[in-house]
Amino acid sequence: MNLTWMLTLQSVIFSTIILLETSGEYFSSSGHMRYLFDIEKQLASRLRTTIEREERRIAELKKFYNKIEHIEKKEDERNYIGHPNNAFKILRRLHRDWPKVQKVAERNHEEFSEFYAQYGNLLPSADDVDGARAALLRLQETFALSASQILNGIVPASNGFTKLSASDAYDIGRMAYTDKRYDVTIGWMKEALKLVDTSNHGDDLPSKVNILDHLAWSEYQINRMSDALNHTKQLLKLDPENDRIQRNKEAFENYLLEGVEAEGEKNLEERLAPHEFPHFYYTPDENDFERYHIERKLWQKLCRGETKPVPKRLTYKLVCWHKTDHPMLRIKPARLERIYPKPELIFYRQAMSDREIERVKTLAIDMLQRATVHNPSTGKLESADYRISKSAWLDESHDGIVDIMNRRIEAYTGLSMETAEKLQVANYGMGGHYETHFDFGRSVPLRPPPGKNRTDYTYRTHKGEDFKKDGHRIATFLAYMSNVEAGGATVFTNIGQAVQPAKGDAVFWFNLHHDGSGDFDTRHAACPVLIGEKWVSNRWIHERGQEFRRRCNLRPEDD
C-alpha cells in the first residue's frame, strides 16, 4: 500500500472509532451524519482516483461518480446535511449504491477495495434508509407539504439541495402505502409517474406498472373511483393479460354505476377552526385516543406557525428586564423576557456563549445515543417513534463548563441545583422531533378541572414509577445551542404558543404549581427539524432543596 493510501486511512481512523461506538440510526442525529458525510467524501475521492487510473468499466464507474462529484467539493457539510433531501440521498447511496460500485471497482483496483473494507459494518443499514423515508413523511405531514415540494427541495432558495428521483418517490410512496396513508401515497406515486415519463435514466427507474398499481388501489381505498378507473385502464394497456387488474377495472366501473364516490368528509384538522385550541385536563373521563390525535394536529399547526394570540388582558405582563440580584450577575446582568404569563415562560437572552456551546457539543458528540422514554407499563427506558433524536448526559466530572452552567442557572432562576439532573444534550437530525409530553413524572397529581373539587376528582396515576427521593421535576431550563433554518420550535399545545430556537438563548418554566401538582398548561412538543440542525441542552430541576426558594402559596387558586 502506498504512502497516499496510508495517510488517507490515518485521516479517517478517528471517525471510524467514533462510529464503532455509535453505529446505527444515523438519521436521528445531524452530528453523526457529519461522520457519514466525511466517509462519503473520502469514498468519492478514492473513486475519482480509481477512474483516472483505470480504463476498464470506466463508463459505468464515471456514470455514478458524476452523481456524487459535488460531495467531494463541498466544504460546508453542516448546511449540506441540514437539508433532509441531501441527508436522505447520502444514507441511501451508502446503503444501496456504494456496495454495487465497490464490486465493480474491486475488479480493477485492489486499493479501492481495501479502502472501502475499512468501513465494514459502519455504513448505514436498511433501517437507516427506512428511518430517513419516515422522516420525510413526517416533515410532509407536519408542515403540510406536497410530495412535489419535497422532491424539488422544499425551499427553492435553500443551499445546495438535491432533488429526489423517481425511485425515491416510489419508495417513499410505498412506505406511506404500507402505513395505509393512501392520500399521501397518491401524491408520491403521481410524482414518480411524472419522473418516469420524463427521465432519461432507465437503469434506476421503478416499474411504471408498479407505480400505477399502487396509485389506482390507493385511489380506490379513499373512494376516488373515477381516478382509480382511469389509472387501471392505463395499467391494462401496459399489462393487458393481468386478470387481477381486469377484475379491478370491472369492479371500479360497477362502483361508479352505483354512485360510489368520495363524499369529501372533513378530516380532524379541517374540523378545527383557525386559532382553536381545545383545552385538555387529562382526567379519567377524557378519551385518550381522541385527545392524542387532536393534540397531534394541534402541535403540527403550531409547528407551521399557526399560533394563538396572547389574551389581550394579559399582554401587559409581556415585559423585558435585567436581573442583577446575584453576585454572578453584577457584571453581566441576565436579560429576561416574559413571552407568556401563565404558565410563565421566561426567555433568557444570550444565556450561553458561542465558546460554551461549541465546548458542550464537542464533549457530547462522542457520547450521543438514541434518546429513550420511560415506558409506564414496563418501567424500562426504550426508544420510541414519538421521540427521535440522540442525547448525551454531562456532569461536572466531564468538564468545568458544566459547573459554570449550573451556577449560572442557579443565579438566573433562584433555584437550588443540588438535586438537578445531569445536563442532557440533545441533537435532532432529519425530521427529529418529540411529540407532546409533560416534563414531570406520570405519578404527579393534576389539579381538578374548573368546576370540580378535589373530593370528586380522581387523580390519574400510573404503575411503574415511584416517587423519587428528590421529588419531581419542578422546573425546566432549555437552552438552544443552534439556530434552525426551518422547523424545530418548542410548542405548547394547551396555550397555543411556539418558541423559536435562537442560538445562545434559553427558555425556562415551572412544571409544577406551588402545591406540587402538575401544571397541564406546560404540555409541550419539539417540532421536527425541516431544514438545518438542532442542538439543545436541558437541565431538569427537582423539588428537593426548593422548599424555601419557592414557597407554597397561601391561596392555591392564585397559582
Residue 125 Cα distances to 95, 122, 418, 546, angstroms: 6, 9, 42, 47
| Domain identity same for 103 and 132 | no
| Domain identity same for 362 and 471 | yes
Looking at the DSSP bridge assignments, the partners of residue 531 are 486
pLDDT digits (tens, 9 = 90+) for 222-264: 999 999 999 999 999 999 999 999 999 999 999 998 886 654 4
| Domain identity same for 138 and 89 | no
Total domains, the chain? 3
Q: Is residue 375 part of a domain?
A: yes
Contacts of 349 (CB under 8 A, 6+ apart): 335, 336, 337, 504, 505
Give the SS3 label for residue 75.
coil
| Domain identity same for 521 and 444 | yes
The pLDDT value given to residue 460: 43
Give the SS3 label for residue 114.
helix
pLDDT digits (tens, 9 = 90+) for 384-424: 777 889 999 999 999 999 999 999 999 999 999 999 999 99
| Domain identity same for 506 and 388 | yes
The pLDDT value given to residue 277: 62
Mean pLDDT of the chain: 84
| Domain identity same for 201 and 106 | no
CATH of the domain at 196: 1.25.40.10
Once rounded to an integer, what is the mean pLDDT over residues 463-468? 45
Q: Is residue 291 part of a domain?
A: no
- CA distance linking residue 426 with residue 436, whole number of Å: 17
CATH of the domain at 381: 2.60.120.620
Best CA proximity match to 98, nearest among 162, 43, 163, 25: 43
Once rounded to an integer, what is the mean pLDDT over residues 26-47? 82
The pLDDT value given to residue 342: 92
Task: Name the more confident of 509 and 372.
Answer: 509
| Domain identity same for 238 and 197 | yes
What's the grid cell of residue 102?
465497490
Cα 201 to the chain's mean position, in Å?
32
Residue where a domain stops, chosen among 223, 246, 272 = 272
Cα 339 to the chain's mean position, in Å?
25
Q: Is residue 185 part of a domain?
A: yes
Task: At 23, give phi and psi (nearest 5°).
Answer: -65, 145
| Domain identity same for 398 and 516 | yes
Q: Scanning the structure block, which residue is given the C-alpha cell 403540527?
A: 300
| Domain identity same for 210 and 249 | yes
Domain limits for position 97:
30-69+82-118
Read off the pLDDT band of 463 (50, 70, 90): very low
Q: For the purposes of burial, counting CB atoms within 10 Å of the CB of 58, is it exposed (0-12), middle (13-18) or buried (19 or more)? A: middle
pLDDT digits (tens, 9 = 90+) for 264-313: 444 444 444 444 567 777 777 778 888 888 999 999 999 999 999 999 99
The pLDDT value given to residue 287: 80
Is the pLDDT assigned to residue 4 strictly greater than 90? no
Cα 432 to the chain's mean position, in Å?
1
Residue where a domain stops, chosen among 238, 272, 306 = 272
| Domain identity same for 362 and 240 | no
Omega of the bond leading into 343 within 30 degrees of 0 (cis)? yes
Q: For the purposes of burial, counting CB atoms within 10 Å of the CB of 379, is it exposed (0-12), middle (13-18) or buried (19 or more)? A: exposed
Read off the pLDDT band of 459 (50, 70, 90): very low
The pLDDT value given to residue 286: 76
Torsion of CA 361, 363, 369, 370, to 10 degrees: -20
| Domain identity same for 526 and 396 | yes
Read off the pLDDT band of 201 (50, 70, 90): low
The pLDDT value given to residue 167: 94
Best CA proximity match to 523, nearest among 298, 276, 289: 298
DSSP annotation string for 187-245 = HHHHHHHHHHHH-S--TTPPPHHHHHHHHHHHHHHTT-HHHHHHHHHHHHHH-TT-HHH
| Domain identity same for 135 and 226 | yes
Q: Is residue 247 part of a domain?
A: yes
Q: Is residue 338 part of a domain?
A: no
Q: Provide the whole-model pTM.
A: 0.83
Enumerate long-range contacts of 269-277, CB under 8 Å, 24 or more apart.
269/297, 269/300, 269/301, 272/297, 272/298, 272/301, 274/306, 275/306, 275/308, 275/309, 275/496, 277/308, 277/493, 277/494, 277/495, 277/496
Read off the pLDDT band of 62 (50, 70, 90): confident
